[in-house]
Amino acid sequence: MNNRGGLLAGLALGGLIFCLGFIAPLLVTADPYAIHPAYALQPPSLMFPLGTDELGRNELWLILSGSFATLSVALPAAALAFASGVAYGLACGLAPAWVDHVLMRLLDAVLALPSLIVLLFFAALVPLNNISLVLLLGLISWPALARLVRNEALAQRGRDFVLAAEQSGASRFYVARVHLLRVMAPVLVVNGTFMVGDAIFSLSALSFLGLGVQPPQVSWGSLLQSALNIIALDPWWLILPPGLLVFASLLAASLTGQGLLARWGNAR
C-alpha cells in the first residue's frame, strides 16, 4: 500500500470508528443495558446481530454504548496530553538555559517512571469517573511529546525569521504561536494521531483491569474483560467485536500518522 493509500485508509477507518462512537448511538432508541434472561449467551442472529451476553443484553447496543464511552474519554485525554506536551516543550525551548535545564531534569524523572505502573497507581487511589480518567490519561502521556517539541524549538530558535521577530520586539509567546508552531505543525499533527491511539489503548487496558470506565457504563476494555471471564463457554461473538475495535483504532492512528509523516517528508 502506497503512502496515499495508507493515509486514506487510516482516515476512512478513523472516520468509521468516530461515527460508530458518536453518531450511531444517537440512532439507538432501546436501552443498551436492558436484560433479556431468556436470550442469554445467544450467538449472532437476525434478532441480535452481534448476539447477547451472559445477562441477555444486546451486544450490538453494548458495543455502541461502549464505543461512545471509550472515545468520549480517550479523545479528550489525548487532547489534554497533546496540549500539555506542546506547552511544556515550548516553555523549555524558549526559556533561559538554566530554566530549560531544571525543566528537562524534571522531565527526565517523569520519563524514567513506567507510565503504566504510574497510571495503575493513581487509578487505584483517585475516585474513578470519566473526568478523572481524562486527567489521568492526559497527564501521564505528555512527556515524550514535550521532549520532541523542546528539541524542535531549540533547533528553530536560531533561525533567521525567529531572530528577526525577537529583535523587532515580539514576545516569546508570539514567536511560539506564530512562528514555531507553524513550522512544527507537521510533526505535531503526526504525533497527535499516535497519541489518540495510545489513549484508546491505555483506557482499554485500564478498563480490562477494572480501573477504567466504571459500571454501569461499558467500554471496549470492560466488554473484552467480561467476555474473557466466561471464555470456557466459547462466547466468540463477545470477544471479537471489542478486540477488533481496539485493533482498528490503533491501526487507523498508525496508518494516518505514517501517511502524514511520509507525505510531509516527501514534500520537504
Transcribe 49-73 into DSSP letters: TT-B-TT--BHHHHHHHHHHHHHHH
For residues 44-68, give the mean pLDDT.
92
Label residue 139 exposed, middle or buried (CB < 10 Å: 0-12, 13-18, 19+): middle
pTM: 0.89
* 2 vs 64, higher pLDDT: 64
Cα(32)–Cα(54) distance, integer angstroms: 14
Cα(30)–Cα(34) distance, integer angstroms: 8
For residues 179-196, give the mean pLDDT.
88
Label residue 164 exposed, middle or buried (CB < 10 Å: 0-12, 13-18, 19+): exposed
Locate cell 477494572: which residue?
210
pLDDT value at position 147? 92
Cα(19)–Cα(23) distance, integer angstroms: 5
Q: Provide DSSP, 119-183.
A: HHHHHHHSPPSHHHHHHHHHHHS-HHHHHHHHHHHHHHHTSHHHHHHHHTT--HHHIIIIIIHHH
Which residue in 64, 100, 5 sits closest to 218, CA to CA? Answer: 64
* Percent of the chain's residues with pLDDT above 90: 46
pLDDT value at position 89? 92
Asked whether the beta carbons of 190 and 148 are under 8 A apart, the reply is: no
pLDDT value at position 252? 93
- Work out the pLDDT band at 222, boundaries 50, 70, 90: very high
Q: What domains are there in the chain, each with its CATH number?
A: 3-18+66-267 (1.10.3720.10)
Q: Residue 55 pLDDT > 60, yes or no?
A: yes
pLDDT value at position 268? 52
pLDDT 10s digits, 77-124: 999 999 999 999 999 988 888 998 999 999 988 888 887 788 888 877
Q: Residue 66 pLDDT > 60, yes or no?
A: yes
**What does the mean pLDDT of the chain come to?**
87
